[in-house]
Structure 1
Amino acid sequence: MSGGSQILFDPLLPWVAVWVAAALAVALVALAVWRGLRGWWLRALAVLALLVAIANPSWQEEDRDPLSDIVLLVVDRTASQGMSDRADQTDAAVDRITAAVEALPDTELRTVTLRDAADNAGTLAMAALAEMMAEEPRGRIAGAILVSDGIVHDIEHAPDLPAPLHLLMTGRETDWDRRLLVKSAPTFAIVGEEVVLTLRIEDDGAVPEEVASGRARIEIAIDGGEPMPFDVPVGRDLELPLTLPHGGMNVVQIEVAGAEGELTDRNNAAVVQINGVRDRLRVLLVSGEPHAGERTWRNLLKSDSAVDLVHFTILRPPEKQDGVPVTELSLIAFPTRELFLEKVDEFDLIVFDRYRRRGILPMIYLDNVVSYVERGGAVLMAAGPEFAAADSLYRSPLSEILPAAPSARVIEQGYTPRVTDVGHKHPVTEGLEALAPPPADGEDGPGWGRWFRLTDVVPERGQVVMSGPEERPLLVLDRVGEGRVALLASDHAWLWSRGFEGGGPQLELLRRLAHWMMKEPELEEEALTATAEGLEVTIVRRTLGDAPEPVDVTAPDGSVVTVPLEEESPGRFVGTFTGGETGLYRLAEGDLTAVVALGPAAPREFEETIATDDILADSIAAHGGGAMEIEDGLPTLRQVREGRTAAGRGWIGITPRGAYRTADVTVIPLVAPLLFLLMAIALTVGAWLHEGRR
């Protein structure tokens, strides 16, 4: 325990009045001296006694308990500190600082370990330092030390330290790294149209001569498909033309081949998610003889502004004999050759609505439609009674792609369409019955309106997803080559759009059919997808078969975990897992693969990996500290006086604060105001008597 003494003043009058009185007294004494009064010195003593009495001085004695100085230590244990031997360097620095502080008298160490920030915020070292300062008395903080690679992401929040700030920097002079930057990428693009991504590959640090060739190998894959390799230059902006293959979310994975000796390959990959939208859905509607459903098909397709419809119909069949001369007919010849031979690939979907062979479309045209489907096109056949006749389209080259053959029988009776067991698994009809109102009392199945005609067909391939009376096939779907084919074995779908007996989900069924034919990922029968919310990932596996195997998930660090799947609904299996870190996760189950990004593919911790003191340089200089590379040796710790430089060759310093806590205070009055007042009166009288004797 130590003490401190000082004189305190508790004036009887305001200090302003005291200073005015003192000035007046000095003036009067000076006047007495000027006039030569013999008792001027007695008058001066009287004035001094009066002023001392008014000032009321006292003697204060304090008993003080000295307080120790506090050194703040921020230890960076974020992901970037796990590269190379930075973790070992950090451990050695922490041990040295801990031992050095313990060896100093009356000095304590406060340590905080910095982990990866949430939401990919990076290294928040300054926020951690500010929180430590808020918990300690400012007057006891003797210094702050940061053990880190120097890459901090909140330098703008650097606190105002009352003591030196030092950086003990991890890393090696020979460190170098290659990284991939996505400088610009669209969030959505039109399917089939070219978009441009701007990329850049950069080498940072001490790049070895053997890898500084100026070129790197890059691979690009969409939705986990087969990667496409390219050899590209390093250090230049690259414009990557890309065409989206399908609508919906397209996950573009870009990866640069790792180079030997680089710090990490965690920043060698990037994921760009682009939402594919279709500019227009081009549909060719080929109608046969007029019927009640023809206008329904036309109106349904024309009602959608995103659909470009070309309608080919037979307004005057060749067999019609009404005696009208051909020269007087006002009908315009339809460009069949141009549509079915030259521009057939421009259509996204071809619909045959109750069309039969009339000799108008040559077989070569229909054979070209078959080739169109095999190349990736889509055909929807809405079959009426003519499909079972001798001039059926099945008896043409189209039989090569149609999934069912007519039995020549047409069933005329009321029935309610049903979704089959396979249909409950297929994404086109999954959950379709949930859109129906509840059935009437005593009835089974969905509460849809009835249809009254079914062309009996025999499935040859594909999946029967809807059925009619006696479970006869109603809607059959199949894949042919790279294309899709759907056969609707009834021409009474228009009854739903008219609201007969409550109608049914014709619009939703057609929408799903069109999207399935356009190969939208969310309507694939066999699919593996994943969605992320934070670090929580939900895996969805769709299949028409039996229960799938567990999914193997490869984390960004290369570790593999197996995620089991549970059946959520027919054909839909779901599993969940929590990612340990942000980055790109790869999923695999059998032949199916998928990718999902938790946060960016390269977390912020790996955007810049070469250790540097540039970011902290201004803060360190403002507080008189220093930056030391651990590779060059660990510094010693000294105590320096406040205001002096606190860093030098091989050493860093802290400033002792001399803080204390007051345990007791003793105050002793130095004067008795009344006594000094009487003394002043006596001296004044004495001066008068002394001068009177003269």
Structure 2
Amino acid sequence: MIGNVIFDPLVPLVVLYGLAAIVVLGLAFAVWRRLLGWALRALAAVVLLGAIANPSLQREDRAQLSDIVVAVVDESASQRISDRAEQSAEALANLQSEVARRPNTELRVLTLGDGVDDAGTELMTALSEALAEEPQARVAGMVLITDGRAHDLPVAPSALPAPLHVLLTGHEDDWDRRLVVKNAPAFAILGEPVTLTLRIEDQGAAPDADFVDLTIAIDGGTPLAFQVPVNQDVELPIDLPHGGMNVMQFATPTIEGELTDRNNEAVIQINGVRDRLRVLLVSGEPHAGERTWRNLLKSDSSVDLVHFTILRPPEKQDGVPVNELSLIAFPTRELFLEKIDEFDLIIFDRYKRRGILPSAYFESIATYVQNGGAVLISAGPDYASADSIYRSSLGAVLPGRPTARVYEEGFTPMITDLGQRHPVTEGLEAFAPNSGEDGLPGWGRWLRQIEVLPSEEAAVVMSGINAQPLLMLERIGEGRVALMASDHSWLWDRGFEGGGPQLELLRRLAHWMMKEPELEEEALWVEPNGLSMRIIRRTLNEETGEITIIHPDGTETVVTLDEVTPGRHELLWEAPEVGLYRLRDGDIETVIALGPAAPREFEQTIASGEILADLVASTNGGIVTMSDGLPSLRDVRAGRVAFGRGWIGVTPRDAYRTADVSVSPLLPAWLALLLAGLLVIGAWLREGRR
């Protein structure tokens, strides 16, 4: 119970001050005239003025409130390395016991994890949130249990109500080695080197080293070993091996004594794109579809086209030498022998042997396929003739043998059961200009088909008359070959009976031949989104096996995918942490990096109080290294230094809550009038006695 005297004047203060001034003047006059009763009259005036001021006694029933100590415990990734987690637990336990020994004091604990989207340690944000939950008048102190690596210092609270202390984890002899990759682009042109900047830097009390080992692996393949200097930038040119996503993993071995190996690796992902697609189109007998092929290829600005056309009909025998058939000498030797490897795709459109291209050229083309090249055959009646290119050295790599029979009738191209699962033709009906009827695709007919017998390894993805093979695909050595057993695909481009998706079909064929990952028949890839990954498995089989996911720490998770379309299985999976994941289904493997290439939590791993030093000093708090011992808790007055050797201080706030308030007058009105009257009468009697 606390009592206070309060005043509630019966008249405005101006009137009260005026009456007081009159009393003072009257008192001065009485003293000057030496009136005997002036003292009693003065007392009477004071009593009356006091009654007008209306003094009262205010009694408050107060409930004492406890002091609050706020503790923010950093449990981010950098606090889980070495023995920092144990140090944090010991520091928190010691703080809890110190607060428990103090009377009327409570401890509020807030734990802090990793920031969202690689934001790092948001220590100041957590402190602001903790203070927002508590009355500022009761906060006696604040303690941060951390390694000092805060990444949100600009959002620190502007005014802290009590001393702020840092209990710093870590040890003086800590050291760490970090691998950094700079200048990593999201896209790169195939065939052009990408220059990356690497740096391996030592932090803390690191041992002396001039050079360290570095390994580089692409898509989880066999790593290549190098030696690079320490604490120096190294320029590294890299050629992307294939189109699509290339996952590159850089690593340096872990040395005994390092804080962590989480920053000894860096993973970057670069999407390889082709600058230009170099195509050689060899046309034989002129026909209506020749111009269509040329227009389709020329319409794509990313295609460099070389078109070679034989205009001389076979029945014309005029004795003119071959090298004099054109106005300018056509560089056939240069194209088919010397620079054939510079082409990404060779297309033969209704071409047959006429003596223009020697057998050595066809042998060169066959070797080109074996070594990774791509050939597309658009076959007309020429393919069924005695002069067919199948009957040359090129025939050894072609997926279909002609029977010499040619069908001259209309038919609607159909996608086979295998074609429904093959990436070249899968879902091609969706590009049909019309809606199909009677189970037929909604595209126009073709009017000619060449009968061929597919090889054992050929994949027949489209069929024609009497289910005869129409489009055959085959892998030959390192290369790929496609055979279209008709020269009437141009009817789709011309819009005959509605036309059809010739451009889309050609695009897919070209990408499959270029070994683009999204057009592979047996493929496993991942589409990352934050910590989520969409696992996609494409296969020609009706079923797929279980997918094994290998986590960054080596643990494994086995998942089963769901078939969403024929040949395509998918699953959306949430990963537990950032890092490099390996996925395996039998012999097919892929790698994917989730999260940043170098997590922010592991950029600086040496514990340090430098970042928080100014903020702590502004509150007279201190930074205590946990390796030096656990501090005790003491009381300090506001504005005084709140730390010392082996102790940290809190400021008692003496906060309270008022439960009840009662007000009673000190001098009742009747008593004031009685006292004033008695004093006036006493003054009169004294003056009358004189």
Normalized against structure 1, the TM-score is what? 0.91
Show CA shifts across 1:562-588 (max 9, x none): 222343333223344321112221212
In 2, the alpha carbon distance for the partners of 1:386 and 1:647 equals 96
CA distance in 1, matches of 2:108, 2:386: 93
In the TM superposition, residue 693 of structure 1 has moved relative to its aligned partner by 10
Structure-2 separation of matches of 1:158 and 1:18: 51
What residue in structure 1 maps to residue 373 of structure 2? 377
Residue of structure 1 in register with 2:163 after alignment: 164
- C-alpha change, 1:103 and 1:371, in structure 2 (3 Å) is same
CA distance in 2, matches of 1:131, 1:428: 55
**Counterpart pick for 2:470 among 471, 474, 477:** 474
What letter matches 1:129 in structure 2? L
Q: Which moved more, 1:11-20 or 1:23-32?
A: 23-32
Q: Distance in 1 between matches of 2:339 and 2:322?
A: 28
Aligned partner of 1:448 in structure 2 is 443
Q: Which residue of 1 aligns with 2:190?
A: 191
After superposition, give the CA deviation of every residue in 1:359-412 in whole Å (9 maximum; x if it has no partner): 122222232222332332221111111011111111222123212222222122
Q: Structure 1 counterpart of 2:442, which letter?
A: G
C-alpha distance in 2 between matches for 1:681 and 1:687: 10
C-alpha distance in structure 1 between counterparts of 2:689 and 2:490, whole Å: 140
CA separation in 1, counterparts of 2:426 and 2:322?
Answer: 51
Q: Does 1:78 align with 2:73?
A: no
- Residue 616 of structure 1: SS of its match in structure 2? helix
Q: SS of the counterpart of 1:98?
A: helix
The whole-number CA distance in structure 2 between the counterparts of 1:259 and 1:65 is 60
Which stretch shifts more, 623-632 or 679-688?
679-688
SS in 1 for 2:341: helix
Whole-Å Cα distance in 1 between the matches of residues 251 and 439 of structure 2? Answer: 55
Q: How does 1:668-679 map to 2 (within 5 A)?
A: 668-672=664-668, 676=672
- In 1, the alpha carbon distance for the partners of 2:222 and 2:152 equals 40
Shift of 1:293: 0.6
Name the % identity: 63
Describe how 1:397-476 pairs up with structure 2 within 5 A.
Answer: 397-436=393-432, 441=437, 443-460=438-455, 461-476=457-472
Checking the alignment, whether the CA contact within 8 Å between 2:584 and 2:590 is kept in structure 1 is yes
Unaligned runs of 5+ in 2: none
Q: Shift of residue 494 of structure 1?
A: 0.5
Worse-superposed segment, 14-23 or 658-667: 14-23
Query: What displacement does 1:472 show?
Result: 1.8
Counterpart CA distance in 1 for 2:566 and 2:598 is: 37
Paired with 2:15 and 2:513, the residues of 1 have a C-alpha distance of 99
Where 1:260 maps in the other structure, the secondary structure is coil
Structure 1 residue aligned with 2:635, among 639, 649, 655?
639
Of 137, 140, 158, the match for 1:139: 137
Deviation at 1:493, TM superposition (A): 0.2
Tell me if 1:173 matches 2:169. no
Give the deviation of 1:14 after TM superposition.
4.0
1:665, distance to aligned residue in structure 2 (A)? 2.1
| 1:36 CA drift (Å) | 6.9
Question: How far apart, in 1, do the equivalents of 2:236 and 2:280 lie?
Answer: 34
Offset at residue 42 of structure 1 (A): 6.0
CA gap of 1:25–1:377, structure 2 versus 1, over 3 A, is farther
The letter for the 2-side match of 1:447 is G
User: Shift in Å at residue 348 of structure 1?
Assistant: 1.8
* Structure 1 segment 222-261 matched on structure 2, within 5 A: 222-261=218-257
| 1:4 corresponding residue in structure 2 | 2
Deviation track 1:212-247 (CA, whole Å, cap 9, x = no partner) reads: 323222222333333332221221222221222333
2:647 aligns with 651
1:92-148 alpha-carbon deviations (Å, 9 max, x no partner): 222211112111111122222223333332322322222222222222211122222
The alpha-carbon deviation at position 492 of structure 1 amounts to 0.5
How many Å separate the matches in 2 of 1:481 and 1:331? 38
Displacement of 1:322 after TM fit? 7.5
Give the letter for the 2:489 counterpart.
Answer: A
* Total equivalences in the alignment: 688
CA shift for structure 1 position 285 = 1.0
Q: Residues 649-676 of structure 1, C-alpha deviation per residue, up to 9 Å, x if partnerless?
A: 1111222111122222222212346865
- Does 2:147 match 1:149? yes
Deviations 1:43-79 (A, max 9, x none): 6546544543343221212222212212122222222
Offset at residue 287 of structure 1 (A): 0.5
Contact 1:584 1:601 in 2 (8 A): no
Secondary structure of the 2:311 match is coil
TM-score, structure 2 length as denominator? 0.92
Alignment of 1:317-356 (within 5 A): 317=313, 320=316, 331-356=327-352
CA distance in 2, matches of 1:162, 1:275: 52
Shift of 1:593: 1.9
| Residue pair 1:582, 1:601 contacting (<8 A) in 2 also | no
Superposition deviation, residue 195 in structure 1: 2.1
After superposition, give the CA deviation of every residue in 1:266-314 in whole Å (9 maximum; x if it has no partner): 1222222223332222211111111011011011111122222221112
Q: Which residue matches 1:202?
A: 201
Mapped contact 2:269–2:593 kept (Cα < 8 A): no
C-alpha spacing 1:180/1:17, structure 2 compared with 1 (3 Å):
farther
Residue 574 of structure 2 corresponds to 578
- Corresponding position of 2:94: 96
**Alpha-carbon distance in 2 for matches of 1:489, 1:10:** 110
Residue 604 of structure 1, aligned match among 587, 594, 600: 600
Note if contact 2:526-2:534 (Cα within 8 Å) is conserved in structure 1: yes
SS across alignment from 2:289: helix
Is the counterpart of residue 302 in structure 1 residue 298 in structure 2? yes
The answer as to 2:624 corresponding to 1:625 is no
The answer to whether the Cα contact below 8 Å between 1:246 and 1:518 also exists between their aligned partners in 2 is: no
User: 2:502 matched to which residue of 1?
Assistant: 506
Alpha-carbon separation, structure 2, partners of 1:681 and 1:603: 88
Which segment is superposed worse, 288-297 or 298-307? 298-307
Supply the distance in 2 between the matched residues of 1:251 and 1:617 (Cα, whole angstroms).
41
Q: Match for 2:384: what amino acid?
A: A
Q: 2:107 aligns with which of 85, 93, 109?
A: 109
Distance 1:235 1:164 in 2: 39
| Secondary structure, counterpart of 1:130 in structure 2 | helix
Q: Structure 1 residues 55 and 454, CA, compared in 2 at 3 Å: closer, same or farther?
A: same
Unaligned runs of 5+ in 1: none
Contact 2:268–2:593 (CA<8 Å) still a contact in 1? no
CA contact (8 A) 2:350 2:379 kept: yes
